Amino acid sequence: MASPFTINYAERIKTLPPYLFAAIDQKKTEVRARGIDIIDLGVGDPDLPTPAHIVSALQYAAAKKENHQYPSYVGMPAFREAASQWLNRRFEIDCNPASEILSLIGSKEGIAHIPLAFVNPGDYVLVPDPGYPVYAVATGFAGGLVHKMPLLEENGFLPDLQAIPDEIADRAKLMFINYPNNPTGAVADQNFFEQVIIFAHRHNIIVCHDAAYTELAYNDYRPLSFLQVPGAKEIGIEFHSFSKTYNMTGWRIGFAAGNAQVVNGLGKVKTNIDSGAFQAIQEAAIVALSADQHCVVELCRIYQHRQEIMVNALGKAGFTLSVPQATFYLWIKNPVGMDSAGVAAMLLEQAGVVVTPGNGFGDAGEGYFRISLTVPEARLQEAGERIIKAIG
């Protein structure tokens, strides 16, 4: 008899951090089994539909037979042109659509693939902590080493570049940054981006700015693009997403913009892995970028109102938090004496409300939990009342 066949995962899979929501999912199932109505403020996935004019554009484009074949690897010229014009209208940036813009199958896809283009085994990548988990995992998949940059409240949740040891910085190939920030809701000013550019030049580090939330901002605040800052295009690239701006998380479309060689390197990886984004989706995305942006204004109005409801309730429950100028998240300090997992468990058990423990985004997220404002107003109101009752 032959020995039994065995399936062995590769080291890169075996060493993945535990799934962020696994423990919560387990508890959610238990609580739901007791017949409790659960309000999920955990996941950052917009509840509102994609605006109708964008859906119509997809319906029309999906029927065109020329869209049924393999798309261009780098994106349709018209898509890259629309992205270039949008960047110019919104941020007064000039990006050459032929060489400085690349379509992505969602910005996550580009973020996950870029280390493969620039990181050799043993090279460092500078990653924010807390942060979007993909930066660290993608670094590991490329054989790179993660150096965490803690985002601390006393620094406005910006990384302290001075705290990065020279010997690490000199061996670093990439740095990920993300403003407006998930999970903290923090924003970056021009001065911070200037410091990043100086640092990147000094140590020869390619900067990858994740710009998924530049369009979701409140009052008159308009987030900056990293590429607006002089010198940025010499050292970096920016990832743009349609997901949060136009409620298109399921569509899988985004683009990278910036340094032509960096764009080209990412493109080389992609050519060997995927075959571009469905052209009908690119055509609908062109409509999203080119049409009147009233739908985005309206979306921000809705999130801001939700934000007021939840901030108000959390204040009554005795929590401390600052009100973010952008993103649909709230980043809240744990009650004294509780850790993040404990708060999440308590809110689920006693209020039927799911939140994300901050340490799920990295060790420096311990001490906080995240609420996502992606449920309808009435549910948010209800969640707020239940939290007040559970805590008070």
What does the binding site for ligand PLP look like in residue numbers (CB under 6 A)? 44, 106-108, 132, 178, 182, 210, 212, 241, 243-244, 249, 254
| Residue closer to ligand PLP (CB basis): 182 or 279 | 182
Nearer CB in complex with ligand PLP: 243/359: 243
Number of neighbouring beta carbons within 10 Å of residue 309: 17
352 vs 360, beta carbon nearer ligand PLP: 360
As measured in angstroms, the least distance from the Cβ of 46 to ligand PLP is: 9
For 299-339, give the DSSP string.
HHHHHHHHHHHHHHHHHHTT------SBSSEEEEEPPTT--
State the nearest-atom distance from the C-beta of 209 to ligand PLP, in Å: 10
CB 208 within 8 A of CB 236: yes
- Where helices occur in 93-231 by DSSP H, the ranges are 107-118, 134-141, 166-169, 190-203
Tell me whether residue 113 or residue 244 sits nearer to ligand PLP (CB atom). Answer: 244
Bridge partners of 79, per DSSP, are none
CA 392 centroid distance within chain: 33
Nearer to ligand PLP, 243 or 334 (CB): 243
Q: How far is the CB of 327 from ligand PLP (least distance, A)?
A: 8
Q: List the one residue out of 237, 257, 251, 258 whose CA is nearest residue 288.
A: 251
Measured in degrees and rounded to the nearest 5, phi and psi for residue 219 equal: 55, -135
Residue 19 CB, nearest distance to ligand PLP (Å)?
17
Residues 6 or more apart whose CB falls under 8 angstroms from that of 101 comprise 75, 80, 83, 84, 95, 255, 256, 257, 263
- Shortest distance in whole angstroms from residue 136 CB to ligand PLP: 13
Q: Which is nearer to ligand PLP, 124 or 242 (CB)?
A: 242
The least distance separating ligand PLP from the CB of residue 316, rounded to whole angstroms, comes to 28
